[in-house]
Amino acid sequence: MNSRSGSATSAAGRALSRAVLRQGGARCAALCAVSTTATAAGLLLPALLGHTLDLLLVHAPAGRWLGCCAGVVLLLALLDGCAGVLTGTADAHATAWLRRRLTGHVLALGPRATARFGAGDLVARLVGNAAQAGTAPGALAALLAAVAGPVGGVVALGLIDPWLAAVFLAGAPVLALLLRAFARDTSACVAEYQRVQGRIAGALAEAVGGVRTIRAAGAEARETARILAPLPELSRAGQRMWRVQGRAAARAVTVAPLLNLGVLAVAGLLLARHRLSVGEMLAASRYAVLATGVGALVGQLASLARARAATGRLAEVCAEPAPGHGTRRLPPGNGRLELRAVTARRGGRTVLDRVDLTVPGGTTLAVVGRSGAGKSLLAEVAGRLADPDTGEVLLDGVPLPDLAHGELRGAVAYAFERPALLGTTVEDTVAFGLTAATPAAVRSAARRAHADDFVRRLPDGYATRIADAPRSGGECQRLGLARAFAHGGRLLVLDDALSSLDTVTEHHITRTLLAPDPDRTRLLIAHRASTAARADRVAWLDAGRVKAVGTHRELWQEAEYRAVFGDGEEEIRDEPGTGGRG
């Protein structure tokens, strides 16, 4: 899905990574300093302990050294505490900073972001990727420690006796090879597990969709049993996963102790030849443990790589240019809309091809055409939900990009075929906009959209939570219409916003909606001939071009125009519920 060049994206990713570290500069620097100091103190401690032990074993005065040991242990605790708090807070701040920045940009992009990335992917980026990218400061500091610890451990072994370092370095690759072997057969049983799980989830999804049938049949228990039939298989796949993991873990837990024993054996031989003290042997054993921490390095590198990859995905979103807004205001007017040589492409296809169209202020224009003719994109371009590739769109003589944001959105109201109803309560949903509409405006708009009746039948009326009010397609559309009505403006764009209404309701709404109103221009995408018939004029769109503009009655003479509406009986129903819950 990434059409951009990889290098540009990764450059943007690097820039964003740097920005993440910069925004929390002091915290990140402190974190690195603390964890480096902690690693250094951790490397010092075994030597101190060893030397103190040697002094104690020969009954020499060791008070000062004991004090040092206690002091370093205390210092380590303090540093670890600081590092823990700093890691947590630095990561949290970085995540929050990324989320704020991304949310702002995504909101500025608007539907362009959804078109480019898809809604689900955007959520994944804002939630999951931002959290992963936010771990970068902590991962970087941990990586420093993960490198310094093992390197310091091996160096310290060498300083005690080169043989110790030699035996460690010789043994490590052998054991690492042993470790590699187990990464193999886990993926097969994980895939099997997920496959069975997917079957159960699929059957459950079907049953949730058919709940009215199941409940009316009283067949809940039977259906549950049927969905759960693959459960034993899931259980077997799960058991297999654990067994494979167990074999892997068994090998993993042998590596560090065996290396340690190898170092101890060499140290013991050196001790027997009096080339090493008991304390040094103790220190060597702890250094060997520190040196085996190199295994953690792989994990740290992986998590830093994950954080960077996540940052890269966020940078892709940030790299998408957001449309700017001008500062001009609208002159007095009634919403005269002009499209001048508008061309718009989507995915390499020219959807609108040099469209010239003028909607005189205060009139209604219906746009009709077969599906794929470019009607929806025309509606988007008309109110600047999308920008044309070439050509311009003017509202009362002002090009849309020159308008200030508030001026543009205050002047244009939209209603959609499948509106996303945002907000907490039904009231909040209808009031949703540049400025919240008053309760009186909300009710009046709902009445005009014929939504008032069904809203008042909801458990808490207008105060019903929108998530608790599943709606049919027609009810959704009426709430979306009410939202558009509540905010008014001089241009109203209806993108197939009446398609799910029954004919009676549609008739009532269009009667008020399309009644002569000298102050307001209305652009509506229509599929039904009856809707087109009520508009002042109809623009007939075909393959991205305006084929004809005229009244419905005039155009109806052409068989090709009539064919646009297909045939078939008009229905008195709602579309099936969208199931959309807020």
Nearest approach in angstroms of CB 140 to another protein is: 17
Residue 56 within binding range of another protein, rule CB under 8 A? yes
Residue 23 within binding range of another protein, rule CB under 8 A? no
Nearest approach in angstroms of CB 390 to another protein is: 22
Six-digit token pair at 25?
């500069």
Nearer to another protein, 90 or 165 (CB): 90
Q: Which of residues 326-345 bind another protein (CB under 8 A)?
A: none
- Residue 346's DSSP bridge partners are 349
Nearest approach in angstroms of CB 85 to another protein is: 5
Nearest CA to 481 out of 397, 416, 408, 394 is that of 416
Nearest CA to 139 out of 303, 352, 285, 262 is that of 303
Among 8, 191, 242, 390, binds another protein (CB under 8 A): 242
Residue 44 within binding range of another protein, rule CB under 8 A? no
Residue 170 within binding range of another protein, rule CB under 8 A? no
Residue 181 within binding range of another protein, rule CB under 8 A? no
Residue 135 within binding range of another protein, rule CB under 8 A? no
Residue 119 within binding range of another protein, rule CB under 8 A? yes
Segment near another protein (CB under 8 A), from 14-22, 26-34, 154-162, 503-511? 503-511
Among 187, 224, 390, 438, binds another protein (CB under 8 A): 224
Give the pairing type, strands 390-395 and 491-495. Answer: unpaired
Q: Which of residues 379-398 bind another protein (CB under 8 A)?
A: 383, 385
Q: Which stretches within 273-351 are classed as H helix?
A: 278-292, 294-319
Q: Which of residues 257-286 bind another protein (CB under 8 A)?
A: 257-258, 260-261, 264-265, 268-269, 271-272, 278, 281-282, 285-286
Three-class SS state of 546:
strand
- Residue 542's DSSP bridge partners are 545
Contacts of 187 (CB under 8 A, 6+ apart): none
Q: Which of residues 398-427 bind another protein (CB under 8 A)?
A: 405-406, 408-410, 412-414, 416, 419-424
Contacts of 510 (CB under 8 A, 6+ apart): 498, 531, 534
Residue 151 within binding range of another protein, rule CB under 8 A? no
- With beta carbons less than 8 A apart as the criterion, state whether 16 and 128 touch: no
Nearest CA to 225 out of 198, 206, 193, 200 is that of 200
Residue 313 within binding range of another protein, rule CB under 8 A? no
Nearer to another protein, 86 or 546 (CB): 86
- With beta carbons less than 8 A apart as the criterion, state whether 283 and 156 touch: yes
Residue 483 within binding range of another protein, rule CB under 8 A? yes
Residue 533 within binding range of another protein, rule CB under 8 A? yes
Residue 245 within binding range of another protein, rule CB under 8 A? yes
Among 7, 26, 59, 327, binds another protein (CB under 8 A): 59
Reported as half-sphere exposure (CB side, CA atoms, 13 A), residue 493 has a value of 25
Residue 504 within binding range of another protein, rule CB under 8 A? yes
- Residue 394's DSSP bridge partners are 338, 399
Residue 432 within binding range of another protein, rule CB under 8 A? yes
- Give the orientation angle of helix 294-319 with respect to helix 278-292, to 10 degrees: 30
Alpha-carbon distance 575 to 455, whole Å?
18
Please count the residues of this chain forming the interface with another protein, following the rule CB under 8 A.
178
Nearest approach in angstroms of CB 6 to another protein is: 25
Give the pairing type, strands 349-359 and 491-495. Answer: unpaired
- With beta carbons less than 8 A apart as the criterion, state whether 507 and 428 touch: no
Among 33, 40, 92, 330, binds another protein (CB under 8 A): 92
Nearest approach in angstroms of CB 457 to another protein is: 5
Residue 100 within binding range of another protein, rule CB under 8 A? yes
Segment near another protein (CB under 8 A), from 254-262, 338-346, 516-524, 540-548? 254-262
Q: Which of residues 184-223 bind another protein (CB under 8 A)?
A: 197, 199-220, 222-223
Nearer to another protein, 287 or 373 (CB): 287
Phi-psi region of 274 (alpha: psi -120 to 50; beta: other; left: phi over 0): left
Alpha-carbon distance 146 to 138, whole Å?
12
Alpha-carbon distance 464 to 49, whole Å?
68
Burial 250-270 (b: 16+ CB within 10 A, else e): eeeeebbeebbebbbebbeeb
- Give the orientation angle of helix 6-23 with respect to helix 63-109, to 10 degrees: 130
Residue 123 within binding range of another protein, rule CB under 8 A? yes
Residue 577 within binding range of another protein, rule CB under 8 A? yes
Give the pairing type, strands 337-346 and 349-359. Answer: antiparallel
Binding mask 66-85 for another protein (x = CB under 8 A): x--xx--xx-xx--xx--xx
Residue 296 within binding range of another protein, rule CB under 8 A? no
Residue 318 within binding range of another protein, rule CB under 8 A? no
Among 195, 321, 434, 439, binds another protein (CB under 8 A): 434
Give the pairing type, strands 364-368 and 537-542. Answer: parallel
- With beta carbons less than 8 A apart as the criterion, state whether 388 and 352 touch: yes
Residue 114 within binding range of another protein, rule CB under 8 A? yes
Nearer to another protein, 408 or 541 (CB): 408
